[in-house]
Structure 1
Amino acid sequence: MSISLSRMRRSIALSVPSSTNLTRFLSLLSLLGLLSISACSKKIEKTEDIRPVRVIQAKLEGSEIFSEFSGEVRARVESRLGFRVGGKIIARKVELGSMVKRGQVLMQLDPQDLLLGQAQAKAGLAAAESNRDLAKAELKRYQDLREKNFVAQAILESKDSAYKAAQASYEQAKAGFSTQTNQAGYSSLVADVDGVVTAIDAEVGQVVSAGTSVVRVAKTGDMDVIVGIPEDKINAIRGMTDVKVRLWANATQSYNAKLRELSPIADPVTRTFLAKVGLPDTAKEVRLGMTATVSFGVKNPLAMIRVPMTALFQEKNISSVWIVESGVVKLVPVQLGASSGEDILISAGLLPGQTIVTAGVNLLKAGQKVTILGVEAEHNASPAAASVAAGVAK
């Protein structure tokens, strides 16, 4: 028992540090605290923000200014045909897209009422003819009696008036019969020209009135491309003589066209001005209803610099572009000339040979360092210009 108590006293004594050890321990803790504070207060070095950009090299060129609009191919002459009399449709002889010839029957009305009217007019004509013949015979007989002085002159004049009235009634009945005969013929709707059926507005069993459109026929031959011109392009379009049409079905083929009509009044819904562009006779592959792109162009007499629209930076209604000089970007205000497809022509503000940023312009700031990812060749640029742009990328 005494041995156990002595061992416990020695272990307690060893666990309690001496005054010297305690002083050293506290000093060590203070040193560690100072080191941690100094480590936290050390400034972290900032990494420089260098943005990658794509560029092109400015180059003067006498570009062709043009504007493009989408349109639809339509026939130059498209007629809305309707019956000249009212009635019930009993037959439809054509389908949508059918090719028709002049004089071909398109639709028919029930002719029963029209035939009855024709028969009535014919009977009236026969009665008028009979009355005329009787009056004529009476006049002849009284003329003979007057020559023999058997009747007075007044009686002869009355017979002459009766004959003239009968003759007029006959002419009236004859005209009525001709009218009813024409009306009976109007029960069949025929094509006026060679063409194609573009729409059917009425079906069998429907009762239509005179003049109501029941079928549309587009005349074969001349075709137009119908486009809507915005109001800010009207004055420019009038002076552009180089008009080309490309079909969406064959974008590689273009046709020389001509602006045939330009509406002086804007459409109340779209607020655009309707323009009709005439296609040449050589456009044999064009079909009605095709989608086409019409480009209006004119040769620009002044040399300008062409840049893509993505290079423009708009701020406070001022158009600018970023140029790269010595690895940093600089914002330069420019004056816009005109649009040319997906590009913009710059008339002032840039010099040939300057490096222009074409992508990421909204993420840049003045004096920022950039790195060039690659150089995009200008639209339709020559191989020589592309090689110069490649040198800028290096």
Structure 2
Amino acid sequence: MDFNFLSPVSDLVLAHNALLSSQALGSKLRIHSKNQGIPDLDAVGIAIIGVLENRNDVNYIGEEFNLNEIRKSFYGLFPGSWSSVVADLGDIEKGERVEDTYFALKSIVSALLKLNIIPVIIGGTQDLTYATYRAYDDVIPMVNIVNVDCKFDMGDSSKPMKNNSFVGKIILDEPYNLFNYATIGYQTYFNSQEEIDLMDQLYFESYRLGEVSNDISLVEPAVRDANIVSIDLNSVKGSEVSLNQKFSPNGLDGKEICAIARYAGISNKVTSLGIYEYKPSKDDEMTAMLVSQMLWYFIEGVNLRVRDDDFADENSYQKFITLVDSQELIFYKSNKTGRWWIEIPFLADVNNKLKRHTLLSCTHQDYIDACSNIIPERWYKAFRKNSV
């Protein structure tokens, strides 16, 4: 396995780590250091990778950055009662070209996925999500992506890819592996009407900031169905972050972004997490601490995973059937966790992407709505996408 692309965690961070409490996270991690080299990955469940690539930022003016402050903050936190072994594999430096960085990230993510290790990428620009997505090409046939962002990032895919247009590239580039794309926390005034219409036409999901702030649990089913969760730090409101990081007075607050990170951890399907658009500044403590807490909640979530989506054992779930407009909807509720799913029917006469009855995560409210003759929107979009 080729880890030559990775450079070790800086001596500065390791010197800081040596001064921390022996109970802190820094002494529990397997860290890639200059002296010790790449740590043993045996029994590792989660691997943190920094990617120092920001050249595809639409506002790039040649600035460099590092992740030292995030590491210092993260290493100083105290772990929960976790069984997962976490490694910090250091950083992927900028390649000669941006494509070289993509290749390095794709290779490492693909290798980690095959070892059943969850890669957690902390990066510069969010176009790195494209490289992560391509790492799944020979791992699973269809991929669901959740993007926590104030923008859809569709962009003009006929132009070279930037951090505001990587989703268009994901949709249009072969092989076509994208099944669902959901944006959480979008703000309408940052998105053109054409992009909003395109999201609807493609039956992709979008959750407005107001909806999410009103009830954060709304987004749990979308995150539960995701394979890749990509978080843009510009989705966080300006008052929660450091000077350079401030983007908009409106956005998700610290509790909400950490709740989403925890949902991603708890999901049995999420196999990679990315936190992007980090921009250090002189007063960096706030952003570094927020990213550290997001990482903490994700790892906490992974340690709380429960296999509740195996419906082979009839004693492990309850089944509910309801009629909506002469359409039979079948719901399942896990006895272990109380989480809900809805069945998407198999359509024999179409070129079906899923080839079997597929269960889609949903909420108890979706079942209540179905009983009142309201078709759940997630089900409708998945059914339509499955019929195309």
Q: TM-score, normalised by structure 2?
A: 0.18
Larger Rg: 1
* Higher strand proportion: 1
